[in-house]
């Protein structure tokens, strides 16, 4: 007899599974376009020089220790993170209507937000874009949401945001439904709404009394400019929309395993904040009790030291520029090979990912025959490309597209 008898084996988590398959592959020509992590031209992870410098300074700071942080985290970090996403001069900050809670990267921020909305605001229905990041549904289901519904997002034929379908679905959503919106660099499609489309989305969210939950994991990656990438969120705030915003610093600081995140909360009535903070404290206490300090100290130091902040902006530019170069190179090679289909979407899409339009069979072929690893929905991480392998990848795509 075992207490553990009969536990069924769950399907593997695709993004980590595909990454592991890549790591286990011994082929010399293998290419990793799976997990959303930045890689240099040499195909290596990048410790941002500004992060390294901040770490050295922190290691030499004898005033620091390893005492517990408060339950809601390192407040100066959360203030800096909130200002980064809303803008330093956002009236919601000046009016004391916006604050942050330090969480465990983007996922922890989503989870805290979801649990809080479910337990305190009695919200049960959440809408995610179709398609969306692989973890959104799991987080909200596990946090107690009864229904996770899709809203139309991707128009596969025209490779654009299906704004008509999106608006129609949100118009049909029940009052108080939570809507997850990707702040920028939509994962997996790499295609964001235009500013006009964001305005339409904001209108319907307000008219139908839906609750806005932004997820911003790639601030700086869409355009190379952290302010420009927060446009949609700032616009919604300017329209008086109450919201929560899950922020991740995994990608834009390269702090993947430090789990640095922030949940920004914007309210219309600041007298609600004491209740929110006290109940959120209980949610955090029941989950991780209090967050780790190291990564949050790095982000805080960089964001609040003008010279380091500038250096960080330069790092973001360097990463996003390299990605753009790889987009152009991949598209260029496919076009000169005459690969059937159109490839302009590769350079129209933004952020780390391209939704290539390759079907699951073609993806399987890419993996098996050419050792080019990607997700089976056709998502590729452009960071896995470099000047040495991009032509190889284009030829591999050409081969599987021609069948
Ligand atoms: C991705 O989408 O590849 C990343 O956000 C990694 C993850 O946790 O899924």
* Distance from Cα 93 to the centre of ligand 1, integer Å: 30
Pocket test for ligand 1, best of 134, 247, 384 (most atoms within 8 A of CB): 134
Q: Which protein residue has the closest C-alpha to ligand 1 atom 2?
A: 36
| Res. 261 pLDDT band, cuts 50 70 90 | very high
* Distance from Cα 268 to the centre of ligand 1, integer Å: 32
Pocket test for ligand 1, best of 32, 35, 186 (most atoms within 8 A of CB): 35
- Cα separation, 192 vs 351, in Å, equals 10
Closest atom of ligand 1 to CA, residue 134:
9
Please check whether residue 207 lies inside any domain of the structure.
yes
Please check whether residue 189 lies inside any domain of the structure.
yes
CB of residue 35 inside a 6 A radius of ligand 1 = yes
Domain final residue, candidates 304, 325, 359: 304
Please check whether residue 7 lies inside any domain of the structure.
no
Q: Say what percent of the chain tops pLDDT 70.
A: 100
Taking only the tens place, the pLDDT of each residue in 30-78 is 999 999 999 999 999 999 999 999 999 999 999 999 999 999 999 999 9
Domain that holds residue 320: 14-47+312-402
Closest atom of ligand 1 to CA, residue 13:
9
CB of residue 302 inside a 6 A radius of ligand 1 = no
CB of residue 224 inside a 6 A radius of ligand 1 = no
CATH of the domain at 254: 3.40.640.10
If asked whether residues 123 and 40 sit together in one domain, one would say: no
If asked whether residues 265 and 173 sit together in one domain, one would say: yes
Please check whether residue 178 lies inside any domain of the structure.
yes
If asked whether residues 72 and 42 sit together in one domain, one would say: no
ipTM topping 0.85: yes
CATH of the domain at 334: 3.90.1150.10
If asked whether residues 292 and 154 sit together in one domain, one would say: yes
Closest atom of ligand 1 to CA, residue 34:
3
Domains contained in the chain, number:
2
If asked whether residues 254 and 164 sit together in one domain, one would say: yes
Domain final residue, candidates 304, 339, 368: 304
* Distance from Cα 132 to the centre of ligand 1, integer Å: 11
* Distance from Cα 379 to the centre of ligand 1, integer Å: 11
If asked whether residues 125 and 268 sit together in one domain, one would say: yes
Taking only the tens place, the pLDDT of each residue in 87-102 is 999 999 999 999 999 9
Please check whether residue 57 lies inside any domain of the structure.
no
CB of residue 38 inside a 6 A radius of ligand 1 = no
pLDDT of residue 228: 97
Give me the chain's average pLDDT, please: 97
Residue numbers annotated as active site: 133, 215, 251
Closest atom of ligand 1 to CA, residue 133:
2
If asked whether residues 299 and 326 sit together in one domain, one would say: no
If asked whether residues 161 and 248 sit together in one domain, one would say: yes
If asked whether residues 132 and 159 sit together in one domain, one would say: yes
Instruction: Compute the average pLDDT of residues 277-299.
Output: 98
If asked whether residues 362 and 263 sit together in one domain, one would say: no
Please check whether residue 61 lies inside any domain of the structure.
no
If asked whether residues 203 and 90 sit together in one domain, one would say: yes
If asked whether residues 294 and 362 sit together in one domain, one would say: no
pLDDT of residue 138: 98
Taking only the tens place, the pLDDT of each residue in 123-162 is 999 999 999 999 999 999 999 999 999 999 999 999 999 9
| Res. 374 pLDDT band, cuts 50 70 90 | very high
Please check whether residue 3 lies inside any domain of the structure.
no
Please check whether residue 58 lies inside any domain of the structure.
no
* Distance from Cα 220 to the centre of ligand 1, integer Å: 17
Phi, psi of 384 (to 5 degrees): -75, -10
Instruction: Compute the average pLDDT of residues 278-302.
Output: 98
Determine the length of the chain: 403
- Cα separation, 327 vs 70, in Å, equals 43
Domain final residue, candidates 239, 270, 304: 304
Q: Which protein residue has the closest C-alpha to ligand 1 atom 9?
A: 15
CB of residue 221 inside a 6 A radius of ligand 1 = no
């Amino acid at each position: 007899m075992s207490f553990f008898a009969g536990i069924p084996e769950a399907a593997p988590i695709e993004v980590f599974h595909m990454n592991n398959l890549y790591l286990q592959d011994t082929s010399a020509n293998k290419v990793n376009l799976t997990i959303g992590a930045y890689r240099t031209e040499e195909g290596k992870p990048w410790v941002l020089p500004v992060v390294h410098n901040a770490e050295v300074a922190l290691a030499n700071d004898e005033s620091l220790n390893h005492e517990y942080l408060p339950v809601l985290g390192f407040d100066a970090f959360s203030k800096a993170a909130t200002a980064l996403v809303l803008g330093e001069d956002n009236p919601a900050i000046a009016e004391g209507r916006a604050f942050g809670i330090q969480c465990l990267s983007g996922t922890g921020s989503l989870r805290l937000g979801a649990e809080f909305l479910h337990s305190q605001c009695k919200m049960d229905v959440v809408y995610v874009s179709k398609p969306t990041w692989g973890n959104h549904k799991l987080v909200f289901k596990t946090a107690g949401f009864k229904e996770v519904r899709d809203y139309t997002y991707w128009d596969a034929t025209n490779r654009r945001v299906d704004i008509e379908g999106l608006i129609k679905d949100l118009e049909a959503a029940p009052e108080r439904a939570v809507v997850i919106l990707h702040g920028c660099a939509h994962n997996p499609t790499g295609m964001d709404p235009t500013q006009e489309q964001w305005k339409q989305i904001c209108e319907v969210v307000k008219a139908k009394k839906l609750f806005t939950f932004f997820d911003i994991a790639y601030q700086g990656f869409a355009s190379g400019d952290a302010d420009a990438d927060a446009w949609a969120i700032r616009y919604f705030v300017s329209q008086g929309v109450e919201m929560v915003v899950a922020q991740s610093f995994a990608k834009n600081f390269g702090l993947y395993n430090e789990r640095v995140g922030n949940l920004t909360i914007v309210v219309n009535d600041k007298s609600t904040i004491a209740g929110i903070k006290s109940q959120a404290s209980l949610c955090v206490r029941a989950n991780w009790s209090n967050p780790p300090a190291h990564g949050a100290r790095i982000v805080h130091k960089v964001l609040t030291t003008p010279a380091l902040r500038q250096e960080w902006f330069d790092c973001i530019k360097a990463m996003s520029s390299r990605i753009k170069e790889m987009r152009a190179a991949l598209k260029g090679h496919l076009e000169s090979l005459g690969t059937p289909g159109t490839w302009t979407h590769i350079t129209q899409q933004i952020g780390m990912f391209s939704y290539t339009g390759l079907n699951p069979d073609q993806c399987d072929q890419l993996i098996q025959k050419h050792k080019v690893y990607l997700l089976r929905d056709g998502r590729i991480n452009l960071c896995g490309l470099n000047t040495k392998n991009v032509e190889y990848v284009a030829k591999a795509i050409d081969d599987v597209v021609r069948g």
